[in-house]
């Protein structure tokens, strides 16, 4: 069996981590959830994650800073930005800084699972995930 994808989820709203952890575990991810960016950065310093999912707007340290930090530490890590304040300038800035993808909140767990699957493929660790067709067709 392939090794589990190591995923860090950072969002200052506890509900996001609570929802995403089981959703990603279902597709074979080992998920660590953080609400405090400082703690998340500390953990990123200790361990190389395959994927980091981070909110953008947070107090003290924002998602862009997290992105820069992760890219600096490990170019291999794929960073997925999530935000409730999506707009073209922010999206372009994130991509320019090296984000793997950018998702606007609210989103369905399948939306993130699909992006995680793409990231896994880019990491040469493909996972088995396809979005189920609508209405179970």
Partner 1 sequence: MPIITFSSDSYRKSREIAKKTAEALGYKYVDRKILSSVAVKYDIPEAKLIKTLDETPSFMGMSSKAHKQYLAYIQEAVLGELLDDNAVCHGVAAHLYLLGISHVLKVGILMDFDERVRQVADQEKVSIEKAKKIVRRQEKQRKRWSLDNFNLDETDPSLHDMVINISQIDPEEAVSMISTATGYRKFKPMTYSIKCMQDRELAARVRVALLKDFPDVRVQARDGTVVAEIKALKREKHRKSSAVKELVGNISGVHYVEVHAINDIFRQAAESGR
Whether 125 and 50 have beta carbons less than 8 Å apart is answered as yes
Q: Does 79 bind partner 1 (CB under 8 A)?
A: no
Minimum CB distance to partner 1, residue 8 (Å): 19
The footprint of partner 1 on residues 9-28 (CB under 8 A) is none
Minimum CB distance to partner 1, residue 128 (Å): 20
Minimum CB distance to partner 1, residue 89 (Å): 9
The continuous run of DSSP H or E covering 8 comes out as: strand 5-10
Whether 49 and 84 have beta carbons less than 8 Å apart is answered as no
Cα–Cα dist 56/68, whole Å: 12
Residue 6's CB is within 10 A of a number of other CB atoms, namely 16
Q: Does 110 bind partner 1 (CB under 8 A)?
A: no
Of residues 11, 101, 116, 127, which one binds partner 1 by CB under 8 A?
101
Whether 137 and 14 have beta carbons less than 8 Å apart is answered as no
Minimum CB distance to partner 1, residue 61 (Å): 22
Residues that bind partner 1 (CB under 8 A): 86-88, 91-93, 95-96, 98-99, 101-104, 108, 111, 114-115
């Amino acid at each position: 069996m392939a090794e589990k994808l190591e995923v860090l989820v950072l969002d200052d709203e506890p509900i996001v981590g609570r929802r995403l952890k089981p959703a990603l575990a279902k597709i074979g991810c080992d998920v660590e959830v953080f609400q405090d960016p400082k703690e998340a950065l500390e953990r990123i310093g200790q361990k190389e994650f395959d994927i980091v999912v981070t909110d953008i707007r947070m107090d003290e340290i924002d998602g862009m800073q997290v992105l820069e930090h992760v890219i600096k530490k490990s170019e291999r890590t794929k960073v997925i930005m999530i935000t409730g304040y999506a707009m073209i300038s922010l999206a372009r800035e994130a991509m320019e800084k090296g984000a793997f993808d950018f998702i606007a909140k609210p989103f369905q767990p399948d939306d993130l699972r699909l992006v995680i699957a793409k990231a896994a493929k880019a990491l040469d660790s493909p996972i088995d995930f396809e979005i189920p067709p609508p209405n179970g067709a």
